Structure 1
Amino acid sequence: MGAVKTKRMPRAVREQQMLDAAVRTFGRRGYMAASMDEIAELAGVSKPLVYLYLNSKEDLFTACIRREAAALTAAVRAGVRPGLPADRQLWDGLRAFFTHTSHYPDAWSVLHLQARTHGEPFASEVAAMRAEIVAFVTQLILVAAREAHRDPDLPASEVAGVAEALVGAAESLADWANAGPEVTARQAAATLMNVAWAGLGNLMAGSRWTPPEAAH
């Protein structure tokens, strides 16, 4: 009966089922401890079928990284609505980031913890994703900086470091938020907005950046 089900299920669907099982296993057990037997059992397929579809443990892990990286960057981009003020776009992007990482903690573990600590080519895959997000955030901040400086030609290099720091802070906050279920995506995004947008000086003086009422 199991063999019949395998034949009838479209390859693309079966492959995603395997990737789902792999992300869960890698995210919770780590790359080294995860076994192909465990992944196959969780996916409801034979181990030879996993090898047939995805070649090796290394290729399977790379496929997981690529899928989850694409999903995260797509979520952040989809969360930002062009035409809004720069702070609102940044707020929406951060909220989308923290919502995604909280909904998919195993995927975030694969991207932020596992892939970075097991060498090439895994680290390069995550670095490419991170560079895309940093470039996206740089453009958001650059719009606000050019308006504030009244300089439409202000170079991106002036804010590139800020974007890099902001993304790094978001990554750390995602770990913090996932470790404590009482921290919501909205709270994590508001925390970072108050540090990054309002600034520590204003924050200590009691002047906070306030999330828009319409955002949930």
Structure 2
Amino acid sequence: MAGGTKRLPRAVREQQMLDAAVEIFSRNGFHDASMDAIAAEAKISKPMLYLYYGSKDELFAACINREGLRFLEAITPAGDPKLTPREQVRVALVSFLHFVDENRRSWQVLYRQAIAQQRFVAQVASARERMIEMTAKLLENSTKNPDPGTNFSIMAVALIGAGEAVADRLVEGEIGAEEAADLLETLAWRGLAGKKRD
């Protein structure tokens, strides 16, 4: 074990453990990740890991919570009041996709591991719902003279669903962040500009 680990401040130790857990969960998957491997990755003893997180489920839930908050923080620049609403949507898309590109392990834990575990569905859904609400507001504010019947919440669900699928391809190296942002932005505005049925 690394010397001096016990002298680290609590917040630093927790971050160290969560960083290690994200690495191991993303690499091995939830079921094959062991507390032994996570402790070794964090360079701490397994008893210390259990002292902070009483079980693998508790540790995984803490990872979901932290990574979900990091994703939300990544798109906060989109809330800059100096930007036009349409610029805010663009900034949100670019910020989200660049964050995924730079934090692929985080995305794998949230998108691939967490959504596959039934006991964490509610936690993931809560973080996703916050993103849907934020996206719906951005779409509504950036649409001039919207049709009174436009359901921005459902449009946000569709855009986020598309964004998740595209982000997964980004992680696989099939598309770059800027190209992905262009694609999603075009998708959003074409959908909003759709003609009414006769």
Letter in 2 for 1:29: N
Match for 1:131 among 129, 132, 140? Answer: 129
Q: Report if aligned partners of 1:37, 1:47 keep a CA contact under 8 Å in 2.
A: yes
Aligned to 1:64: 63
Aligned to 1:148: 145
Aligned to 2:114: 115
Q: Alpha-carbon deviations, 1:36-80, whole Å to 9, x = none?
A: 111110100111110011111010000000000001011112344
Cα separation, 1, equivalents of 2:67 and 2:40: 21
Query: In 2 relative to 1, CA 28–201 (structure 1 residues): closer, same or farther, beyond 3 Å?
Result: same
3-state SS of the aligned residue for 2:75?
helix
Q: Alpha-carbon deviations, 1:107-151, whole Å to 9, x = none?
A: 11111111111112x111111110000000100111133x323x8
Structure 1 residue 29: Cα displacement: 1.1
Normalised by the size of structure 1, how large is the TM-score?
Answer: 0.83
Letter in 2 for 1:128: S
Q: Work out the percentage of aligned pairs sharing the same amino acid.
A: 40
Q: Report if aligned partners of 1:76, 1:96 keep a CA contact under 8 Å in 2.
A: yes
**More deviation, 187-196/75-84:** 75-84
**More deviation, 130-139/157-166:** 157-166
Cα separation, 2, equivalents of 1:94 and 1:143: 16
Aligned to 1:100: 99
Q: Report if aligned partners of 1:80, 1:90 keep a CA contact under 8 Å in 2.
A: no
Cα separation, 2, equivalents of 1:148 and 1:167: 23
The list of structure 1 runs, each at least 4 consecutive aligned residues, that deviate by more than 3 angstroms after superposition, is 198-202
1:161 partnered with 2:148: no
Aligned to 1:209: none
Cα separation, 2, equivalents of 1:30 and 1:117: 10
Q: Alpha-carbon deviations, 1:161-181, whole Å to 9, x = none?
A: 11110010000000011101x
Structure 1 residue 23: Cα displacement: 0.3
Normalised by the size of structure 2, how large is the TM-score?
Answer: 0.90
Report the count of equivalent residues: 194
Q: Which runs of 5+ in 1 are unaligned?
A: 203-216
Cα separation, 1, equivalents of 2:178 and 2:114: 27
Structure 1 residue 158: Cα displacement: 2.1
Q: Which runs of 5+ in 2 are unaligned?
A: none
Cα separation, 2, equivalents of 1:91 and 1:28: 31
Cα separation, 1, equivalents of 2:171 and 2:50: 32
Structure 1 residue 159: Cα displacement: 1.5
Q: Report if aligned partners of 1:105, 1:178 keep a CA contact under 8 Å in 2.
A: yes
Letter in 2 for 1:78: P
Aligned to 1:207: none
Structure 1 residue 199: Cα displacement: 4.8
Cα separation, 1, equivalents of 2:125 and 2:191: 28
3-state SS of the aligned residue for 1:73?
helix
Structure 1 residue 102: Cα displacement: 0.9
Q: Report if aligned partners of 2:77, 2:91 keep a CA contact under 8 Å in 1.
A: no
